[in-house]
Structure 1
Amino acid sequence: MSNQSIIRITRELSEIQKTSDLSIAVACQDVDVRNVRALIIGPPETPYEFGFFEFSLKFGKEYPGKAPLVLAITTNGGRCRFNPNIYAGGKVCLSILGTWSGERGEEWSSAQGLESILISIQSLMSANPYENEPGFEDAKSEYDKKSMKDYIAKIRHETLRVSVIQRLEEYLGIMPDGTIDPPVQLSPDSEIEVLDEAQLSFEPFRDLCKRRFIMYYDSYLQTIAKAKISVSEGQQFAKMPFEGTGNSMDGKFLYSELERRVKVIRTALDEETHRWATEGILAVQKELGVAHLLQRQYEQIVESYKRNDTVTMDIGLIDNNPFVWQLTYFGRPMTNLDGGLFRIKAHFSPRFPDEQPRVIFETHLFHHRISKDGVLCYFPHRQDEVKSHIEAIIEAIEEDSPPYDPRTLVNPEASKLFWGSAEDKKNYNRRLRRSVQRSME
């Protein structure tokens, strides 16, 4: 591969990684920029909603003169065709990739790149993917309408089962019977586990998927609850006209089982979060660099907020453990949070910043960015700086008129009111103020 190709790919990777796009992530192993992994999070309000779809991109020496080879990885071992244009064997049919004959002007050009490829794939994950099959764009018969509905239903089920549940179960070591491989028992003489990509299979999106699962947990359960009404438990998937042997999506609806598995995953993630505290104490005892890093940032941030006249925030460590922070935020005057006192706990991993902190509101706050059980949805500008995390926490809860972005809405009930009618918004503000008032009780 020429130096120009490597420079081009490196720049494109860096640009995507620096953006605030919440639906696309990219990574490569070490300096091997020719082999890229990409994650697309299923668009809201589609059957792919909040699913985790992974792709492999291999760039040849002719790039950008020639498009990379793109393969879908999230296929349930080659048994699940997630779209008319995304085959069970991994093939992605797009004119810009040269894998489909499109209209003139839709073919690949050197002006396109990694981001345009991923956006094109994401566009296939529409509210009605049935229409992606050539010849079905104008399907209007009753048979076609029923097929569309059946196709959407099974994609929604398999998005949950394959792209979300199976992926998280593999990350967490959850067995088919629901039991979890017990974590290694740590002692003062134990070595702290470090996720070394040279020793483990390359899983660059492990932490991202775990964090998003926690954020979208209520949405997954809500999707299951709605879907259980429309299909019968054990009902077979309908076969689509364009599906063939070895390139289909076969199975049956088992939403009750999916619901159980989703709850097991959430329990396992909560247990993992609490284990970080124990691992953190050992990291302190061993004087590991991450322990010094968090302790130093803690001391600097405490001093910084003592001098801050605009935000009142008390910061402490639970049991003097730099891996568990206790934040006490006082609602800023002249905002909806005025007069409130909120206790927030931030759990840090011994692998920070490779694994990002998990932030829980211990004080109940009715808010569209806070789930019913206190999980905060926020995104720092600098993932390696704790101060950036704290600033993002404050920004997320104080923002008065945020743009509508369903990827950030982790409380379905609060979100529906916030972006509903004028009367809904008044109801939202009343419930928010009531929770603020109760925070002082």
Structure 2
Amino acid sequence: MSNQSVIRITKELREIQRGSDLSLAVACRDVDVRHVRAMIVGPPDTPYEFGFFEFQVKFSRDYPTRAPSVTAITTDGGQVRFNPNIYAGGKVCLSILGTWRGEPGEEWSSAQGLESILISIQSLMSSNPYENEPGFEDAKSEHDKKQQAAYVAKIRHETLRVSVINRLEKYLGINGQPVAPYNSAREFEESSEVQFEPFMDFCKRRFLWYYESYCRSIDEELKKHKDKTAFSKMPFEGPGNDMVGAFQYTSLKKRLEVIYEKIMEETRTWEREGKVAVMRELSIANNLQRQFEQITEAYKKHGSVGLDLCLVEGNPFVWDLVLFGRPMTNLDGGMFRIRIHLSPQFPDVFPRVQMITPIFHHRVSPQGIICYEVTRREDLKTHLEAIMAAIEEENPAYDPRTLVNPEAAKLLWGKPEEKKMYNRKLRRSVQASLEY
């Protein structure tokens, strides 16, 4: 592979990793940028909502003159065809990849790149994927509409079962599955006999963000589909390239709850592991202690009175942040305690951040999980600033990927009277924070 090709791929990977799109992630082994793993989070308001869909991307020596090959990995071992254009065997049919005939101008060009490929795949995950099958684009009869609804229903079920629940159970070693312990390319290089799983932390964090949405989706679907009811077969599905099964939402709900508790249990183990790291004077413990001291000193120097920061029992792996609501804002007069757990694998593993003080807020889940993102993941001051910005933002731009409290989001971006209700509920939670 030419140096120019390697430079191009490396640049594209870096741009995606540093970008602001919360629904895309890419990773590769440091020794081979030609073989890339990509993760696409299913778009909101579709049957793929907040699912975790993984793809393998292989670049030839001719890239970018020639498009890379893309294979879907999230297929339940080749048993589930998630889209008319994403086969159970892993084939992805797209004109941009040269795997499907397209209109003039839709074919691959060197001006395109990995991000445009991933966005094109994501666009297949629409609210009505039935229309992606050639010949069914204009299906409008009552029979067609019933077929469309049936297709959407089974995709939503299998998105939860395969892309979310099966994946997280594997990561966490639930039901006797071996735990997949490797979060980063660096760790993988140290033990190349173990399968590379670069998206473990990515998916765990987002599972906590979207847990309420998963639960609500299951509760809604349970009203429509009785357990053990078989999926409907689509006219374009064939043996070995279909989606066969039955609804089992009651079981999925229980499995979902177990995953949530397992992740929270894992988070608590970081506190114990952190104490051991401190006793052994490991570099990660020294690093976190030093960052804490530098941050607190910086805030004191600038006379910040809007927050208070301390270590829980002197443990640099568990921080307590107390945020005081700024005057003339919706948080005015409030006092909010936020717990930050840090992993011994930081910064490869993001902090897990939970609001201990209850608050009604579109960026805080009903379980207290705060949705925020940073690019400088190794700098904890950047994390603190992002956490506070997420809580304090007054006029947020609409981004459904950050709306981890469905009820709050519905009110905030609803009718004027609904937005007033959001503000009232937020203010009530602010007033109650002083008594918590």
TM-score band, normalised by the shorter chain? Answer: over 0.9
Residue 211 of structure 1 and its aligned partner are, at CA, apart by 0.4
The equivalent of 1:22 in structure 2 is: 22
Contact map agreement 1:380 1:391 (CA 8 A) in 2: no
The equivalent of 1:325 in structure 2 is: 319
Residues 6 and 181 of structure 1: CA distance in aligned 2, closer, same or farther (over 3 Å): closer
- C-alpha separation between the residues in 1 aligned to 2:161 and 2:78? 15
- C-alpha separation between the residues in 1 aligned to 2:16 and 2:367? 32
The equivalent of 1:188 in structure 2 is: none
Q: Is residue 2:7 matched to residue 1:7?
A: yes
Residue type at the aligned position of 2:295: I
Residues 181 and 95 of structure 1: CA distance in aligned 2, closer, same or farther (over 3 Å): closer
The 5-angstrom pairing of residues 349-388 of structure 1 reads 349-388=343-382
Residue 230 of structure 1 and its aligned partner are, at CA, apart by 1.2
The equivalent of 1:169 in structure 2 is: 169
The equivalent of 2:392 in structure 1 is: 398
The equivalent of 1:134 in structure 2 is: 134
Q: Is residue 2:94 matched to residue 1:100?
A: no
The equivalent of 2:281 in structure 1 is: 287
- C-alpha separation between the residues in 2 aligned to 1:266 and 1:5? 42
The equivalent of 1:38 in structure 2 is: 38
State the Cα RMSD in Å: 1.6
User: Gaps spanning 5+ residues in structure 2: where?
Assistant: none
Contact map agreement 1:59 1:67 (CA 8 A) in 2: yes
Residue type at the aligned position of 1:433: R
Residue 195 of structure 1 and its aligned partner are, at CA, apart by 8.3
Q: Is residue 2:101 matched to residue 1:110?
A: no
The equivalent of 1:77 in structure 2 is: 77
The equivalent of 2:232 in structure 1 is: 238
- C-alpha separation between the residues in 2 aligned to 1:157 and 1:142? 23
The equivalent of 2:54 in structure 1 is: 54
Contact map agreement 1:215 1:371 (CA 8 A) in 2: yes
Instruction: Pick which of 263-272 and 381-390 moved more.
Output: 381-390
Residue 268 of structure 1 and its aligned partner are, at CA, apart by 0.3
The equivalent of 2:423 in structure 1 is: 429
- C-alpha separation between the residues in 2 aligned to 1:311 and 1:366? 24
The equivalent of 2:433 in structure 1 is: 439
Q: Secondary structure at the match of 2:175?
A: coil
Q: Secondary structure at the match of 1:196?
A: helix
The 5-angstrom pairing of residues 200-239 of structure 1 reads 200-239=194-233
Residue 182 of structure 1 and its aligned partner are, at CA, apart by 10
- C-alpha separation between the residues in 2 aligned to 1:128 and 1:370? 30
Residue 144 of structure 1 and its aligned partner are, at CA, apart by 1.1
Counterpart among 388, 391, 404 of residue 410 in structure 1:
404
Identity %: 64
Q: Secondary structure at the match of 1:87?
A: coil
- C-alpha separation between the residues in 2 aligned to 1:182 and 1:105? 45
Q: Secondary structure at the match of 2:254?
A: helix
Residue 308 of structure 1 and its aligned partner are, at CA, apart by 3.2
Contact map agreement 2:128 2:148 (CA 8 A) in 1: yes
Residue type at the aligned position of 1:196: E
Contact map agreement 2:172 2:179 (CA 8 A) in 1: no
- C-alpha separation between the residues in 1 aligned to 2:252 and 2:380? 36
Residues 310 and 291 of structure 1: CA distance in aligned 2, closer, same or farther (over 3 Å): closer
- C-alpha separation between the residues in 2 aligned to 1:124 and 1:63? 24
After superposition, the C-alpha distances for 1:60-107 in whole angstroms (9 at most, x for unaligned) are 111111111100000000000000000000000001111111111111
Q: Secondary structure at the match of 2:211?
A: helix
Q: So what's the TM-score if we normalise by structure 1?
A: 0.95
The equivalent of 2:270 in structure 1 is: 276
User: Gaps spanning 5+ residues in structure 1: where?
Assistant: 185-193
- C-alpha separation between the residues in 2 aligned to 1:365 and 1:303? 29
Instruction: Pick which of 305-314 and 264-273 moved more.
Output: 305-314
Residues 204 and 102 of structure 1: CA distance in aligned 2, closer, same or farther (over 3 Å): same
Contact map agreement 2:212 2:365 (CA 8 A) in 1: yes
Instruction: Pick which of 309-318 and 197-206 moved more.
Output: 309-318
Residue 310 of structure 1 and its aligned partner are, at CA, apart by 5.4
Instruction: Pick which of 224-233 and 123-132 moved more.
Output: 224-233
Contact map agreement 1:311 1:332 (CA 8 A) in 2: no
* Poorly superposed stretches of 4+, deviation over 3 Å: 180-184, 308-311
Q: Secondary structure at the match of 1:175?
A: helix
Instruction: Pick which of 155-164 and 311-320 moved more.
Output: 311-320
Q: So what's the TM-score if we normalise by structure 2?
A: 0.96
The equivalent of 1:197 in structure 2 is: 188
Residue 381 of structure 1 and its aligned partner are, at CA, apart by 3.8
Residue 231 of structure 1 and its aligned partner are, at CA, apart by 1.1
Residue 289 of structure 1 and its aligned partner are, at CA, apart by 1.0
Counterpart among 335, 345, 348 of residue 339 in structure 2:
345
Residues 38 and 181 of structure 1: CA distance in aligned 2, closer, same or farther (over 3 Å): closer
- C-alpha separation between the residues in 1 aligned to 2:218 and 2:246? 14
Count of paired positions: 429
- C-alpha separation between the residues in 1 aligned to 2:348 and 2:337? 26
Residues 245 and 183 of structure 1: CA distance in aligned 2, closer, same or farther (over 3 Å): closer
Q: Secondary structure at the match of 1:197?
A: helix
